[in-house]
Amino acid sequence: KNIKKYFPIKGGVLKRTIGHLKAVDDVSLTIQKGETLGIVGESGSGKSTLGRVILRLLDPTEGNIHFNGADISKLTRRKFRPYRRDMQIVFQDPFASLNSKMSVAELVEEPLLIQADLSKSERKKKAIEIIEKVGLRAEDRLKYPHEFSGGQRQRISIARALIIEPKFVICDEPVSALDVSIQAQVLNLMKDLQDDLGLTYLFIAHDLGVVKHISDRVAVMYLGRIVEIAPKKAIYENALHPYTKALLTSIPVIDTGKSNEQKVEKIKLSGDLPSPANPPSGCTFRTRCPLAHDRCSIVRPELTEMEKGHFVACHLYTEEQ
Ligand code: SF4
Ligand code: MG
């Protein structure tokens, strides 16, 4: 609720704070048990920072995080520990996130070491179970990360995240580093695991193609703010925000043999993302928006509900005509 994460920018010889990088700038959202909320935006939109704040890997500058009704935003490390087990993260790059000197068994069992009550043989049993669940073989336990392909390494990361039986998993671009041909396999695996284990996902991606099949709802972020959030069908068939339309326009069209006519109007995105240290006034998307008008540089549009559960922050919909 109202999450802000500002990073100080230091400058000058005295290294004083001369400004703030507003990575996340007043984001509120709810994720229901068992659902997948997709969060989409370009790199620099603040989506990974938001994920880290929700998991308390970073402290928010402002705002609160509630988990199962409890406010976890200000708990001490010790009081937070029981929640830690329920919340896990799968990172984008399975090369960087897996220690190459550890065997698969060590990597997958490591998160269990915080549970002092488990014996060695119990840990091994659990590891084999989860290794097989993610589609690897029990014998793979004795191998090292470099002996696997990118897709298999991501399966190891997923096993590592799931072995302590979390309820909520943040997936931070888990397939972005993988070959397109492997992406669907890993996405299907994550969907199956969700159904099987009753997981709740926050699924971060940089394009709308990746989250299309896995999400129940989708939020679109731009420069630290949510500009549109809606049930999946509404995002893909009735997108309202010009930025969402631009992201939809840029989804690679997969040739299914059927006509692939896009239902929303096409908008081509031009220019780069402005710096979150110095965002444009009013609507922060105005420097790239083909529909920008006078009001857009003066007044910041607020998220407004247009249809049930479909919110957009754009003057085109909320202005008095
Ligand atoms: Fe474009 Fe204005 Fe809407 Fe922003 S508020 S998305 S600049 S039309
Ligand atoms: Mg990121």
**What's the whole-number average pLDDT of the chain?**
90
Rounded to the nearest angstrom, the distance between the alpha carbon of 85 and the centre of ligand 2 is: 23
- pLDDT (0 to 100) of residue 256: 47
Bigger pLDDT: 261 vs 184: 184
Q: Render pLDDT for 12-31 as a digit per residue (tens, 0 to 9).
A: 888 888 889 999 999 999 99
pLDDT of 94 strictly over 80: no
CA angle (217 as vertex; 57, 317 as ends), nearest 5: 110
Rounded to the nearest angstrom, the distance between the alpha carbon of 123 and the centre of ligand 2 is: 32
Range of lowest pLDDT (53-67, 142-156, 176-190, 254-268)? 254-268
Q: Which range, 4-18, 90-104, 108-122, 216-230, has the best average confidence (pLDDT)?
A: 216-230
For domain 3-86+166-253+261-318, the CATH class is alpha beta
Q: What integer is the mean pLDDT of 187-192?
A: 92
The minimum-distance atom of ligand 1 relative to the CA of 297 is 7
* Domain boundaries of the chain, sorted by first residue: 3-86+166-253+261-318
Rounded to the nearest angstrom, the distance between the alpha carbon of 109 and the centre of ligand 1 is: 49
ipTM, interface predicted TM-score of the complex: 0.96
- pLDDT (0 to 100) of residue 253: 55
The minimum-distance atom of ligand 1 relative to the CA of 243 is 6
Which of 243, 291, 302, 306 has the most ligand 1 atoms within 8 A of CB, as the residue to mutate? 291
Q: What integer is the mean pLDDT of 299-306?
A: 96
The minimum-distance atom of ligand 1 relative to the CA of 301 is 5
Which of 300, 316, 318, 321 has the most ligand 1 atoms within 8 A of CB, as the residue to mutate? 316
* Predicted TM-score (pTM) of this structure: 0.91
Range of lowest pLDDT (64-73, 156-165, 256-265)? 256-265
**Local confidence band at 321 (pLDDT 50, 70, 90 cut-offs):** very low
Nearest CA, atom 6, ligand 1? 314
Rounded to the nearest angstrom, the distance between the alpha carbon of 47 and the centre of ligand 2 is: 6
Rounded to the nearest angstrom, the distance between the alpha carbon of 316 and the centre of ligand 1 is: 7
Q: Which ligand approaches the C-alpha of residue 41 most closely? A: 2
Pocket lining for ligand 1, CB < 6 angstroms: 241-242, 283, 285-286, 289, 291-292, 296, 301, 314-316
Residue 316 in tokens: 């085109």
Rounded to the nearest angstrom, the distance between the alpha carbon of 68 and the centre of ligand 2 is: 26
